[in-house]
Structure 1
């Protein structure tokens, strides 16, 4: 057993979903909190005075008035799009053809894949993000680079080879058989190694033939404990495209459902323009939806219906959608989620926003028992936030009447300057 470490500061976790109660009642907030970390795990938490007396031999790290919480969980990203984030284009398909596909073709080069993987994790850790669920490219080299870099940093991380066999450049197409074979080999090599998880990853229906969707669905049925991730109902013109490619399908979701790509471990990015049948089936099977607000505004996709989807019991996480999203920051993503909900006439509470970026996203990825919250037995992946990190935030913070009012300016205006430090597996990240 390593020497226990006692972290002191304001602490914030959750014991329930704040969307399903008065938001502050779902939170566990302590103004003078403490977290005992032993061998990479949270062993105890409570009031600082009590825990210092209880564990006199523990090494103490005092963060003063900083806020200690679970690290942010980014539940839908494309790490290969790191270098082309914030690229100008008209709509989704234009953006893919002009910027995304040419950049992703570069990942056939293992050296380039490793370079971007390192850069990506440098950027996300600097923003307080401790776990990501990413798409790779069609190239096995991209998955190898991502997992190798994550493993070297001790991160909990998820990814999978993207599968595409049509409506993409020749250099970015595989086949139904190679998609199955490559994905299976990568899954067998990496899934469950250290803190890594493989995710079966058809990009979206327009870039996979029915034969490929069937092959990928077969792989998932053989490995049902893996996640499956894809995109769903991001833009209205995309939905029309799907209808033209799958005229026999009842709706967009049915293009996945009929090939075995619907279940409780399915994670669908965007899900903005859902039909009634789709919503009912997603709720029935317990699938996960991921809100990507900066991407939805940047690419002009639409306004996610957080209020009614959450009210009907959908499982929802939050994500940057790098690089369709215009920021690596989950703080900025929370701010965008707030703004979109305002346009939907629903004011999100800071507790709801923070839960989405931590516990909500972890639950969607089926790792909510491991990360995304402060609780005994959880892995000690933590972010420490300075709630007065800039002059503009500090002057507003000074006027706050309670904790939530003090936290909100950092959600709305915070950036990497708000991140004092990050802990990964019980160790402070370098």
Structure 2
């Protein structure tokens, strides 16, 4: 007989997009909820008494008043930057030159790449993240290190070789041909193997020549089921640099589109300072935009218009942007997203914040039929939240008048102490803080 596990607790259930429909109609917390896990999959979601009655043979894990959520999905990270997170710096270009590029050169050593990949994934797991979409370095073995470490932990993961053939130090540049060849070989090795997805990955237009962008566009045309990830319109100085480098482009987005790097599986990080034409083309293309709020404030990039872009029905995800972002925690990232939206005149509801960190990010990665929801047929990647993990959070939750007021302090003040448990493909992973 197959082993069934029944988890009891409060359950976060999403049946739609709370940015396009009233959140009250599509997001619900069942205070007497339960879900059934079998063979790594969610088989049933419902009321605890009903599922206990229907599945008396199941092993039971009772989480009491803890909230059972889909595992957090971090849609834009740089695992090679793990060791330099929270480094003092100025803005984007200075930060890249001072910290990012020197650290990425260290990953030329395969042993160091494996060490950092393991460290990053363990930190992410301790913060409740069960899927991540990562950049690597130009070194092919940095991709192998990440996917190997993710497979060892059973994680669903997305990554690709970061391609750069100009405006980077010696030792961190490839060529148009080697970017194509290495990416194709890695794609063949990893894409669709286990829980791995390969993402074609030009870092951003300033570090790729038109020839390299075209080569990667050609590779994407050959493998359109792969995602393509890159950066877009993070800072004004960056945009001015792009304008100088690509004088024939209409705007920053056009530097990708003219080389075949825009489409429904494009994943575009930051997207803060967009022109109206760019927003129109992103909408038409079906590309996803990834909000990196702690990074955008830490490096002084600006305030993404989440509500305005969501209203255009553009797929949106949420991300820590480790290590330009200042935290490994998606809870802290949700708090920063709330604060940025407030500065733009919108108070995001907690239902919208958790949706961004789960179903929204899963949709941006085209994994929304596999992860990001508590629903039958989805993979059992789960994060269990203790909604009273610290005295400060507990005292505020104790004054709450609704379940959302109980949850909100954890989103604003929670950290790894709030992660009571993590489940990966139906297997319990004991968080170091739990």
Deviations along 1:196-225, one digit per CA (max 9) or x if unpaired, are: 010000000000000000001000000000
- Matching of residues 63-212 of structure 1 within 5 Å: 63-212=63-212
Deviations along 1:15-46, one digit per CA (max 9) or x if unpaired, are: 00011122122113210100000000000010
Deviations along 1:338-357, one digit per CA (max 9) or x if unpaired, are: 00000001110000111000
In 2, distance between residues paired with 1:292 and 1:148? 26
In 2, distance between residues paired with 1:331 and 1:13? 18
Give the 4+ runs in structure 1 shifted more than 6 A.
Answer: none
Unaligned runs of 5+ in 2: none
Aligned CA RMSD, in angstroms, stands at 0.6
Residue in structure 2 matched with residue 319 of structure 1 by the alignment: 319
Residue in structure 2 matched with residue 61 of structure 1 by the alignment: 61
- Matching of residues 9-408 of structure 1 within 5 Å: 9-408=9-408
Work out whether 1:416 is the aligned partner of 2:410: no
Deviations along 1:296-348, one digit per CA (max 9) or x if unpaired, are: 00000000001111111111110000000000000000000000000001110
Contact between 2:231 and 2:268, CA under 8 Å: does it hold in 1? yes
In 1, distance between residues paired with 2:12 and 2:360? 14
Deviations along 1:208-251, one digit per CA (max 9) or x if unpaired, are: 00000000100000000000000000000100000000000000
Other structure's SS at 2:19 match? helix
In 2, distance between residues paired with 1:393 and 1:22? 27
Unaligned runs of 5+ in 1: none
How many residue pairs are counted as aligned between the two chains? 430
Other structure's SS at 1:422 match? strand
In 1, distance between residues paired with 2:152 and 2:271? 34
Contact between 2:78 and 2:321, CA under 8 Å: does it hold in 1? yes
In 2, distance between residues paired with 1:339 and 1:141? 38
Other structure's SS at 1:378 match? coil
In 1, distance between residues paired with 2:267 and 2:301? 19
How far off is 1:56 after superposition?
A: 0.5
Q: TM-score, normalised by structure 2?
A: 0.98
In 2, distance between residues paired with 1:80 and 1:116? 7
How far off is 1:292 after superposition?
A: 0.2
Contact between 2:20 and 2:313, CA under 8 Å: does it hold in 1? no
In 2, distance between residues paired with 1:376 and 1:28? 16
In 2, distance between residues paired with 1:391 and 1:132? 30
Q: TM-score, normalised by structure 1?
A: 0.99
In 2, distance between residues paired with 1:240 and 1:13? 43
In 2, distance between residues paired with 1:209 and 1:21? 42
In 1, distance between residues paired with 2:297 and 2:75? 18
Other structure's SS at 1:226 match? coil
